[in-house]
Amino acid sequence: MAVDRSDIAKLATLARIQISDEAADEAAKSISDVLALVDQLQAVNTDGVLPMAHPLDAVQRLRADVVTEPNQREAFQAIAPATQDGLYLVPQVIE
């Protein structure tokens, strides 16, 4: 399956990645190449095969409902780009 510039634009929006028009053409080509590689999958019959999301057939361990995490706001916000009054700052959110 080949993708074109407009597909790339759509994907870039979904993934929040900026791609210039020139870069979009190049991305479209290289991603089309990758998809051509991946398209080999279509040739194989997988009827009745269950998808395998994990390599081991393991099941989830469940955690006891006990508070284990102390307040580390100061340490965590020391590495934050913009904070005020303990809040992370972002350009105004409009709903």
Partner 1 sequence: MQWETVIGLEVHVQLATKTKIFSGASTAFGAEPNTQACAIDLALPGTLPVANEQAFRFATMFGLAVNAEIGKRSVFERKNYFYPDLPKGYQTTQLAEPIVGAGFVDLELGEGRTKRVRIHHAHLEEDAGKSLHEDFAGMSGIDLNRAGTPLIEVVTEPDMRSAEEAVAFAKKLHSIVTSLEICDGDMSQGSMRFDVNISVRPKGQEKLGTRTETKNLNSFKFMEEAIALEVERQIDVLEDGGKIRQETRLYNGDTKKARSMRSKEDSNDYRYFPCPDLLPVILDDEYIESVRKQMPELPEAKRARFVEQYGLSSYDAGQITMDKFAAAFFEASTKISGEAKLTANWIMADLGAYLNRTEQRIDQSPVTPELLAGLVVRVKDGTLSSKIAKQVFEAICNGEGDADTIIETKGLKQVSDTGALEKIIDDILAANTAQVEGYRAAAEDKRAKMLGFFVGQAMKASKGQANPQALNELLIKKLNG
Partner 2 sequence: MHQFTIAELVKGLRNKDFSSTEVTQHYLDRIARLDKTYNSFITVTADIALQQAAAADARLAAGNAPALCGVPIAHKDIFCTTGVRTSCASKMLDKFIAPYNATIVENYLNSGVVMLGKTNMDEFAMGSSNETSWYGPVKNPWAIDCVPGGSSGGSAAAVAAHLAPAATASDTGGSIRQPAALCGLTGIKPTYGRVSRWGMIAFASSLDQAGILSRTAEDAAILLNDMASFDAKDSTCVEREVPDYTADLNKSLKGLRIGVPKEYFGEGLNPNTAQLVEDAIKVYESLGATIHSVSLPHTHLAVPAYYVIAPAECSANLSRFDGVRYGHRCENPKDLNDLYMRSRSEGFGAEVKRRILVGAYALSAGYYDAYYSKAQKVRRLIKQDFVDAFESVDVILGPTSPSPAFQFGSKTKDPVAMYLEDIYTIATNLAGLPGLSIPCGLVDNKPVGLQLIGNFFAEGQLLNAAHQFQQATNFHQQSAPGIE
Identify residues 27-46 at the interface with partner 2 (CB under 8 A): 27, 30-31, 33-42, 44, 46
Residue number, 41 or 67, with CB nearest to partner 2: 41
The binder of partner 2 chosen from 21, 66, 79, 84 (CB under 8 A): 79
Nearest CA to 23 among 46, 5, 47? 5
d(CA 78, CA 91): 20
Unique residue bearing structure tokens 């020391």? 78
Nearest CA to 31 among 51, 12, 53, 57? 12
Residue number, 67 or 75, with CB nearest to partner 2: 75
- Residue numbers at the binding site for partner 1 (CB under 8 A): 10, 13-14, 16, 53-54, 58-69, 71-73, 76-77, 82, 84-95
